[in-house]
Chains A and B, each alone.
Chain A
């Protein structure tokens, strides 16, 4: 067993260790699960420190063949794309558990589900084999279904069913694409990801395009890309807020992560459908932004803003140039932190007031100064204010997109403008205005909550001022991706 396997199986071990514990023994359950997630976070940190950012190869590789006939293997490994996602996943799981103290019923099942969810997410980011990737992709679905269906809000049944149907529908397309590639001769070199990447080059262009479209549908549901986002508002709103943190913070990134890998695998097809991707990205950004502007429900607003922000990631991927890719990866991290902080803070507010309607709030800055400053910082970061990590990411994407399409980026700016409109309005409505008597006796953040949100907001601000290390992590990997893309693109492109 090496480090990646330990990291991967730690949450699963945690879930197993919870099984014998009595369901009434909440203290032990909480302690154990926090222990395991913290362990995973520490391992991920250690992994980041020992990760060699200048090395372009996949590091810490582990390969154990599972099905030699098909070529699938238990292959794990990390590169500059996976490392930030691993950190984000372990960090946000820790924070979600810190925010879970308000969950009062079915604690044991809840914690097992969260740990299993972390296991699935880590597997997705660690897998270097499409078969393994697909398995872990599906593994995340089951705990998430139960988390929403059991601990969610009023319409939780509809939400969870909707979520599962959508994701399963997308997975079918992804599976079809994977099968289509594996029909071709696989040369059994290294993991299935590598060999399928090579096999894909032998396909006719039209098939490559179809396969990539399958991937776009499969990953696009998760990401989400504009017409496939139907599950998102409902699931985000109805899920308990720790689960919303994980949903928007990490699960959406799984889609973007997979899409990035698929685009590198099929650059020719990506060139062909590039206009479609750009249109979907820009339209999705405007669409999500305008709908977010229209929501009076705080959680729905954040959910639609997620749609808008993930459009930035898609735009970065669609630009098919290094700056755009860096922007996309940065935006994945940025949105993970920002959306995580947003859902966390909104959830904490909801616990205190039991209303999510923005119009019910007023002048909170007087009674909850700590909450006010953290939320204001997060909202400002969401609109991409310089000095926040959101700005760094959006700037990279903007530059990448501008290199590719120039003036079309005016729509990007428009969507940033819209996001500024709803962010500023939310700050104004929540924290200023006339004093309302029913909003006068709300407790400010407690130390644990302050720690959880402070870590996220601190990350947002710190990486806003010092984005260097974060960019450094992925630069070499993006460089390797473009070497691969360059090899795979025929000369006439």
Chain B
């Protein structure tokens, strides 16, 4: 029974591959293909939801094992990573809930995305995201959770940049993705710490083994996961990415930033509850960050004038509250809050256009005059707490400066030592040629400077080759070849001259005379 769990993430993955492959080979294309794409996507996620609910029911009536192992994925030395899925508990409940939400959102998207240019692309990404998210929720191993985590992040990046020809969309997508990567750093660090200290990244091992860790180690491990969760769930100071992320189509906003993906952070915290219980400091951090986020988001949300932004800040405020609940040890409340909020927020985001339509003409309720009189505070709210410029100043600028310095080092020291590859010189762009020349790789000149190298090794080769060429020319080609021939001719000429001398009659007579004298024996 438990073995069927794998179908929950597998079916959307197969659907994604099918849609992507058929679209790639132009079998599913344009408006004519929309029907089939929709059918594939809905069937897959529908069956997924059915399997999830079925398993939930089976769990209800007859308890099942907590996890099911499908085999070893990687083993290296003492390190082993199993592909293992959770088959019961909060994971399964949440997975079932998410499949239902995804089913609803996909059904909604079929009409909403009708005749959009990227209909098939949208469904490919959405299915891939569904598979990733379900793997994230169901995986019993932090490594596979991380895989789902990453693929979900990439899907989010693709959907924010759905209209990739708009520079704003592309820029926002990059910003959101890079912010998320900060959290990924924490996740990877936590996984490696778990592998190092506990020898396994299974959630069960991490949670049970946490009791044996020193408080310091447990805190570090917990903070690693907390950092990942903060980034994914848009907690302080990562809040701004969420506001940029609503750039994508409405259904994707609903599922990514309202219902499903932003909750991954809270889910991660709840998943590693025993670990956090071993680390009071980490719990404190959770509560503080959550409270700060909730407060800030509420405050900024007050001045938002468009519906999507106000919804988004409401979302991060709610997520902040969940973190507070986790930090204060109200784990069950947090879990219920998560599920309820996922449903409500998805609904609210999906009907956002109708809300606007229904409330047309009715002004929004203005805030109480006591708040309104604080100008600076109002300003702070309008500017969203100057959070983004502050982050730019604190993180982005120094990194850019560092990159600039590195680049200078690379161009002026490393490039000139290593040399530029010759084929690049053949580029016709005059700017490229100028740059190559500046680096010293002067291969374009027409004069007889053919074998030229650049960089240390290149120069060395050039000089040695020139020296060898001189040697070859002077000694081997001219020395042995031409000079020996010349010497031979010279000797030959001398021999001929001598021969002529011999044949000269007077000398000939002299020689004959000498021979005769010798033969007779000179007295």
Binding site for B on A (CB under 8 A): 158, 161-162, 165-166, 227, 229-231, 233-234, 287, 290-291, 293-296, 358-359, 418, 421, 424-425, 428-429, 432-434
Contacts and interface: CB of A to CB of B under 8 A. Distances in A.
B495 interface: no
B477 interface: yes
30 contacts: A158-B481, A158-B482, A158-B485, A162-B481, A165-B484, A165-B485, A166-B481, A227-B476, A229-B476, A231-B481, A234-B481, A287-B468, A287-B472, A290-B461, A291-B468, A291-B469, A294-B451, A294-B469, A295-B451, A296-B448, A296-B450, A359-B450, A425-B422, A428-B422, A428-B426, A429-B426, A432-B423, A432-B426, A433-B428, A434-B428
Contacts of A162: 481, 485
A371 to B, nearest CB: 19
A291 B472 CA distance: 9
B464 interface: yes
Nearest to A159: B481
A165 B485 CA distance: 9
Contacts of A161: 485
B424 to A, nearest CB: 9
Contacts of B448: 296
Size category, B interface: 20 to 34
B465 interface: yes
Nearest to B428: A434
Interface string B326-367: 000000000000000000000000000000000000000000
A27 to B, nearest CB: 40
Nearest to A290: B465
Nearest to B457: A417
Given A290-B461, A424-B423, A428-B426, A230 B468 contact: no
B480 interface: yes
Name the residue among A166, A290, A424 with the largest chain B CB count within 10 angstroms.
Answer: A290
B466 interface: yes
A428 B476 contact: no
Contact of A425 (B423, B484, B485): B423
A296 B466 CA distance: 13
B461 A418 contact: yes
A278 to B, nearest CB: 19
A294 B466 contact: yes
Interface string B452-468: 00000000010011101
Contacts of B480: 166, 230
B481 A294 contact: no
A290 B468 contact: yes
B476 to A, nearest CB: 4
> 5 nearest interchain CB pairs?
A428-B423, A433-B426, A294-B451, A290-B465, A296-B450
Interface string B416-452: 0000001100101000000000000000001010110
A166 B476 CA distance: 11
A293 B465 contact: yes
A293 B472 CA distance: 14
Nearest to A283: B468
Contacts of B466: 294
B86 to A, nearest CB: 45
B464 A290 contact: yes
A294 B463 CA distance: 11
A425 B458 CA distance: 13
Interface string B474-490: 00110011101100000
Contacts of B422: 424-425, 428
Given A166-B480, A291-B465, A291-B468, 17 more contacts: A158-B482, A161-B485, A165-B484, A234-B477, A234-B481, A287-B472, A293-B461, A293-B465, A294-B451, A294-B466, A294-B468, A425-B422, A428-B422, A428-B423, A429-B426, A433-B426, A433-B428
Contacts of A296: 448, 450-451
A290 B467 CA distance: 10
Contacts of B464: 290
Contacts of A230: 476-477, 480-481
A287 B461 CA distance: 11
A232 to B, nearest CB: 9
Contacts of B481: 158, 162, 166, 230-231, 234
A418 B464 CA distance: 12
A287 B469 CA distance: 9
Contacts of A287: 468, 472
Name the residue among A230, A421, A432 with the largest chain B CB count within 10 angstroms.
Answer: A230
Contacts of B426: 428-429, 432-434
Contacts of B484: 165
Contacts of A227: 476
A373 B422 CA distance: 21
A22 B25 CA distance: 64
